[in-house]
Structures are given as structure tokens and as C-alpha cells.
Amino acid sequence: MAHKLTTVEMGRMSVEEFRKSEKLPLTVVLDNVRSQNNIGSVFRTADAFRVERIALCGICSTPPHREIHKTALGAEESVEWGYHESTVECVKELKGKGYKVYAVEIAHDSLRLDDLNGVEIDGPVAIVFGNEIEGVQEEVMELCDGALEIPQEGTKHSLNVSCAAAIVMWEMYRNMRGASAAPQSRGNGEGGGKGIEACGN
């Protein structure tokens, strides 16, 4: 029978420990995301998967902000972030640093997220999520190395941006960690699974 862990048994990091820990070589770029609640949710998921950085671009609000904090629950203090007036310039900067940049969009020749297994990831990656209505800007799409598509079978082919970010971050986490992503039994309730391994297989 399963029993919920206590907060102590979860072995949570402190904010300081998180900041010093090894991160997943993944940057999340938010391209003019309007809702502060969505931004806060992205921070919280980024904390869960130890993402290295969030880039807030254009009209994105920035911490400290009461509405961001409502859904981030303090993750805005642990996850590194930066603000860029232009998403285009942000992506250019990331590519100049050697990042492969992918937009999360339904596009021509997009890679389905469920086909990501087996794709070799040999360096740092950035993933771009767009505005709640307009999606990722076309000029940003043109700079990206490709597009990732979340398979959908309903009538909308549309997900809330924070939901989409959670799905994609989880898949990137699984793939960039490699074999160590297999579920780890907590056994006697001591600290969780293995640490993040180097990017690649």
C-alpha cells in the first residue's frame, strides 16, 4: 500500500542548495507570455526538473510579483531567470552560446514529442513557448533549429502554455538524463533518485 511522504522524507533542497546544484542544461524561453499565473507555473515546473534558467521576453512580467508567486510558490527564488526586451535577440544570444533552440509549435516538419526518444542531444538546449493567443512569433520561429510538437487528438490542438511547458520539460528531462530517468523506489523514505547526468547518451 502506498503512503504519502512527509516533507522531511521528501528530502527537499533548500533554495541555496538548489542554486549550487548541477542543473539540466535546458533554458526555457517565454515569448510574450501574458499571464503571470502561467509564468509562475513555469517557474514551479522548472524548479521540479532543475532547469538551468528561464528567459522572460517582451511583455512577460518578472519577479517579484504577487501573481507570479501565487503559482510559483517560491520557485521564482530558486530558478535563475533573466529578462529580454526582444525574444529574437534572446534566441540569437542563445545560439551564439552554442544552444540548439526549438520552438514548441505545430509547424511544418515539426518533431513529435513522442519521437524524441533516441534523438541524440549533445549540447545545451533552449525551448521557446509562445503567447497564449498568438503562439511563438514567426520571426522567432525562423531563427529556431526546429519545432517540437505535442501530439494531440482532440478538437482544439491547443494547450495552456504552462501545461505545454510542463509536458515538454518532463520529456526533455527524461531524454537529457538518459537511462537514469528510470523510476527510483524510495524504499525506506530516504532521499530520491539519482542526480542529473551529463547531457547525451
Q: Per the domain annotation, does 16 fall within a domain? A: no
Q: Per the domain annotation, does 116 fall within a domain? A: yes
Q: Strands of 24-31's sheet, edge to edge?
A: 81-84, 51-57, 24-31, 125-129, 100-104, 146-149, 111-112
Q: Which three cell numbers stand for residue 155?
A: 478538437
- CATH code for the domain in which residue 52 is found: 3.40.1280.10
Distances (CA, A) of 147 to 24, 129, 157, 195: 20, 11, 15, 28
Q: Per the domain annotation, does 4 fall within a domain? A: no
Domain range for residue 59?
Answer: 21-181
Beta-carbon-side half-sphere exposure of residue 148 (alpha carbons within 13 Å)? 25
Q: Per the domain annotation, does 58 fall within a domain? A: yes
Q: Per the domain annotation, does 5 fall within a domain? A: no
CA dihedral 103, 181, 49, 71 (to 10 degrees): 90
User: How many domains is the chain built from?
Assistant: 1
Q: Per the domain annotation, does 169 fall within a domain? A: yes
pLDDT of residue 178: 67
pLDDT of residue 8: 87
Q: Residue 36, SS3?
A: helix
Q: Per the domain annotation, does 105 fall within a domain? A: yes
pLDDT of residue 118: 63
Q: Per the domain annotation, does 199 fall within a domain? A: no
pLDDT of residue 5: 93
Helix locations, the chain, DSSP H: 15-20, 36-48, 66-72, 75-78, 87-96, 138-141, 161-177
**Mean pLDDT by groups of 10 residues along the chain of 201 residues:** 90 94 97 98 98 98 98 98 98 97 95 82 93 97 96 94 98 79 42 34 28
Question: Is the pTM for the entire model greater than 0.85?
Answer: yes
- Cα(111)–Cα(116) distance, integer angstroms: 7
- Cα(183)–Cα(176) distance, integer angstroms: 15
pLDDT of residue 188: 42
Distances (CA, A) of 67 to 77, 81, 105, 184: 14, 17, 26, 34
